[in-house]
Amino acid sequence: MTNFHILTLFPEMVLQGLHTSILGRAVERNCISIEAVNIRDYTLDKHGKVDDYTYGGGAGMLMQAQPVYDAWRAVEERIAARGASGSRVIYVTPQGRTFHQKMAQELAQEEDLIFLCGHYEGIDERVLEEIVTDEISIGDYVLTGGELPAMVMVDAIARLVPGVLHNTDSAVTESFGDGLLEYPQYSRPEIWHDKRVPPILLSGDHAKVDAWRLEQSILRTKERRPDLYEAYCSRKA
Ligand code: 4G3
């Protein structure tokens, strides 16, 4: 069971996206919980403002420290009421380390995970220094907010939490579980647009099927992701 807490200015966006399909059913079955906390609810500004200009000038606005800090405190208090504390706080930012499958596996072991989604040009550095334990990016591109990256990470982590996927080994067998890309897959019909399903897959010989799939995974990885292929070869050597 992992409890995801998402600090955001757009709670509906996050909840809408994450309560759909497999993760929605996992929430209903109490395998995970997903809570979105609206940072704006914690501002002390009478007009509900959460951003301001940056000292030193330059374009754009910055999220202020106070509402972010108070929203985080409220979440930490709820977690403490259940007897847990010191939860990891992940700030979703292009300045972070790039997210990958091993990070997802490690984070899936945590009881509580707090995601902090920034907007505008980011968040006042002083509150980040006080509450953030991990700065993570989903890749080298800039988005309008941290919500989509947080949703990407929650999805990647949640599917590794025990019970979320029904097929227990699909979470490990798929791409990156062993550092290789997935092999090609086929379903009915046997012939489509003059293309046949590789005959070995119809042979019923499970050992041969497994060997073929591994070979295809290796070929694909070598072709498409030479970086992953090199790492795979080093591990095997
Ligand atoms: C903080 C994350 C947040 C600073 C966030 C922009 C892309 C990613 C934001 C900042 C984001 C990513 C919001 N865009 N690559 N936008 O994970 O400059």
Report the atom number in ligand 1 closest to the C-alpha of 137: 17
If asked whether residues 107 and 184 sit together in one domain, one would say: no
If asked whether residues 18 and 108 sit together in one domain, one would say: yes
pLDDT tens-digit readout, 9-55: 999 999 999 999 999 999 999 999 999 999 999 999 999 999 999 99
Q: Is residue 220 part of a domain?
A: yes
- The secondary structure element, H or E, covering residue 130 is helix 125-131
Pocket of ligand 1 (CB under 6 A): 92-94, 118, 121-122, 137-139, 141-143, 145-146, 149
pLDDT tens-digit readout, 85-142: 999 999 999 999 999 999 999 999 999 999 999 987 899 999 999 999 999 999 999 9
Q: Using most ligand atoms within 8 A of CB, pick from 14, 92, 152 the residue to mutate for ligand 1.
A: 92
Mean pLDDT over 213-226 rounds to 98
If asked whether residues 149 and 179 sit together in one domain, one would say: no
DSSP state of 119: B
Which structural domain range is residue 128 located in? 2-158
Q: Measured between alpha carbons, how far is 205 from 227 in angstroms, rounded to an integer?
A: 32
| DSSP-based three-state secondary structure for 168 | coil
Q: Using most ligand atoms within 8 A of CB, pick from 103, 142, 147, 154 the residue to mutate for ligand 1.
A: 142
Q: Is residue 168 part of a domain?
A: no
If asked whether residues 18 and 119 sit together in one domain, one would say: yes
Q: What mean pLDDT value characterizes the chain? A: 95
Nearest to 136 by CA among 128, 53, 69, 75: 128
Count of CB atoms situated within 10 Å of the CB of 79: 17
Q: What CATH number should be reported for the domain holding residue 56?
A: 3.40.1280.10
